[in-house]
Amino acid sequence: MASSKETYCLCGQPYNIGQFMIECDCCREWFHGSCVDVKIYQSDDIDKYHCPKCSQTYGPSVLKIRTNNHRADRYELGAESKSAQIGSPAWVRALAARAMRPVPAALQRMRAYQFTEEFVRDNEFTRPILFNTPEGLDMQMPNPATFTVRSVLRYCGAQLEVEVIDVRRQSTLRMPLGDFVDYFETPPEQRDEKVLNVLSLEFSDTSMARLVEPPAMARRLDWAERVWPSAERPPRPAVQRYCLISAAGSYTDFHVDFGGTTVWYHVLHGRKIFYLIPPTAANLALYQQWSASNQHNEKFFGDLVEWYGTAELLPGQTLFIPTGWIHAVLTPEDSLVFGGNFLHSYAIEMQLQIYEIERKVETPIMFRYPLFESMHWYAGAHLLTLLRRHNEESQDEDFIINESQHKYPAPDLPSLLVRGIKILTNALKEWHALKSTDTQKRDNIPKCLNSVQLVRELCRELRTLEKKTTSSSSKDKDYKPKNHSPSKSHSKKHSSQNTKKSLKLTLPKPIMHMTLNSEFKDEKHNKDIYQETKVYNDKDIVYQNDRGYTTQDVKTYNGVQEKVYIDSKEGILSDKGYTYAYEDQYDHETNGYIDRHGKKSGSVLRIKLE
């Protein structure tokens, strides 16, 4: 490779490792593909390249001669006697001609309100789920009437490097997004059977992120949202928002999403066909053998297992695929799809199992879930807090004397979650033991966590939970209902508990009063005199009351015998009753007597209540 200080091409710029360049077979000069109008995906078809200057002397570039339509290399010699390879145009056409297999065991259709965390927690999310409409999923998508692939280019930028899959070769290359969009907008009949597929355009850091919001269930379960510290460095793995741009004829061979993640897809334009295989022990063992085989690109994995199902995804539909499911995808027509991946607490066992398979078949790091082990360390800390809180609430129940004081007992942790925590604890224990000899294991442990203490505390809380579970089960087994037949002591106790204490009511003194003319007056300036009437010896005794209580603040007690003293004479009030006002501020009260002063006559009315 020439020195980076040298200049090349018609533009006279130095070599750039991130920019595609091609060498002229005549003058041996290097040129940027963008300067001589040669795309990276076209270079494989060129046998001898002639630069613009040399083409004037030696003629145009010489293309390779095709020999077949069923092999990954369409220029392969002796291809007639060889079988078709996955991804070739002939093979894709044969797959598209197969009949659909809508097996109920491979797909369930639901409405959004049925897909809840309780549904996942109860281990019901074991099959892919298809939603016909996005209503109720609480997700945000661009308007399909106005949003196109050109819109993706506008939001993400033409120079953004994207990974593109050459479907025929089943290989990956990198190219600017602008070049891919130019290819995608070319009519299919003019693409020269070149099929390209973009699957890993993660756009969380672009301006397009505000247009797409994953479904609410994905956000609620996602460890990246729940357990990864927001201020932690490095930032959380960016796998929540993917844009998939697939040309007609694209095919993605059987795979399990990295790290055993759960995945969701929403079709904005086009159509997708999924080939679905459940993650049974036998199927995963076959998948591991098939992935490690050198001939796996000539064998359709669906024919090796007991059965597989298909699901067709149309515009406006959404598909959730649970952890571990082995699936392939065929794109019959140009498609624009949004999707995302997430790890969660109810799939720990399968996630770790897929991670181990990836390690055994030596899956390249670029195709694995980023920071997988670090995410599980953070999840361990999160689940430790959950375990500790549950054990403390369960312990509090043992100290409750009165059963009525505990209306809401601590609910049991789901068995699926408890099993996952145990498996995760064992994995963390193993990773911690290897950190002394494996630098990668050591680097995967977050700096803010004490791995020794975390593993120890998880084991302790799991033992506590197991003891509580064993104790409660033995109590339920030995439980004998008590005889609650009524007795004298029980009746007395019950009657004493039902005895109601008298209540003392204190009402606030009104500030405004409504007159007969429906006008409100301030109490401070109210000069009206309200009168109270007592009956003594069949005569009404009227005395003036300047306190201004309204009838809403008084209550009448009938049949109360009262003694009244007027001019030092004692009498008994009749049982016609009298009015009594709450918050009545009397002048003074002594020995059960109450003195009330008239305002005009100055007479005193002394009342004794008995």
Place of tokens 């019901």: 124
Q: Is the dihedral of CA 538, 542, 543, 549 positive or negative?
A: positive
CA distance 201 to 182: 16
Mapping DSSP to helix (H, G, I), strand (E, B) and coil, where does residue 247 land? Answer: coil
pLDDT in tens, 436-465: 899 999 999 999 999 999 999 999 999 999
pLDDT in tens, 513-552: 444 444 444 444 444 433 444 444 444 444 444 433 333 3
CA distance 277 to 325: 6
DSSP string, 33-99: HHHHT--GGGGGGEEE---HHHHHHH-SPEEPPP--SSSSSTT-TTGGGS---TTSHHHHHHHHTSP
Residue-range domain boundaries for the chain: 7-64, 101-140+212-369, 373-396+413-473, 512-609
Asked if residues 361 and 292 have their Cβ atoms less than 8 Å apart, the reply is yes
* Confidence at residue 590, expressed as pLDDT on a 0 to 100 scale: 47
Angle subtended at Cα 511 by Cα 506 and Cα 515, rounded to the nearest 5 degrees: 115
Q: What is the DSSP letter of 151?
A: H
Give the mean pLDDT per block of 10 residues along the chain (610 residues). 68 82 92 90 91 93 92 90 93 95 93 95 95 96 96 95 94 92 93 92 95 96 94 86 97 96 98 97 95 89 96 97 97 97 97 96 90 96 94 64 47 90 96 92 93 95 88 58 49 47 43 42 41 45 40 39 44 40 40 51 50
Asked if residues 257 and 199 have their Cβ atoms less than 8 Å apart, the reply is no
pTM above 0.75, yes or no: no
Q: 7-64, which class in CATH?
A: alpha beta
CA-nearest of 319, 302, 330 to 87 is: 330
What is 373-396+413-473's CATH number, 2.30.130.40, 3.30.420.40, 1.20.58.1360, 1.10.3720.10?
Answer: 1.20.58.1360
Secondary structure element (H or E) that encloses residue 197, with its range: strand 196-202
List, as own/partner pairs, every contact residues 433-441 make where C-beta atoms lie below 8 angstroms and the sequence separation is at least 24, other chains included: 441/373
* Confidence at residue 594, expressed as pLDDT on a 0 to 100 scale: 52
> For the domain 101-140+212-369, what is the CATH code?
2.60.120.650
* Confidence at residue 473, expressed as pLDDT on a 0 to 100 scale: 63
CA distance 115 to 337: 21
Asked if residues 380 and 228 have their Cβ atoms less than 8 Å apart, the reply is no
CA distance 270 to 244: 11
Q: 7-64 and 373-396+413-473 share one CATH topology?
A: no
Asked if residues 555 and 580 have their Cβ atoms less than 8 Å apart, the reply is yes
* H helical segments located in 343-437: 348-360, 372-396, 415-434
Q: Which residues are paired to 586 by β-bridges?
A: none
* Token pair of 357 as six digits: 């398979």
Cis peptide before 234 (omega within 30 of 0): yes
How far is residue 229 CA from its own chain's centroid? 16
Secondary structure element (H or E) that encloses residue 52, with its range: helix 52-58
* Confidence at residue 483, expressed as pLDDT on a 0 to 100 scale: 52
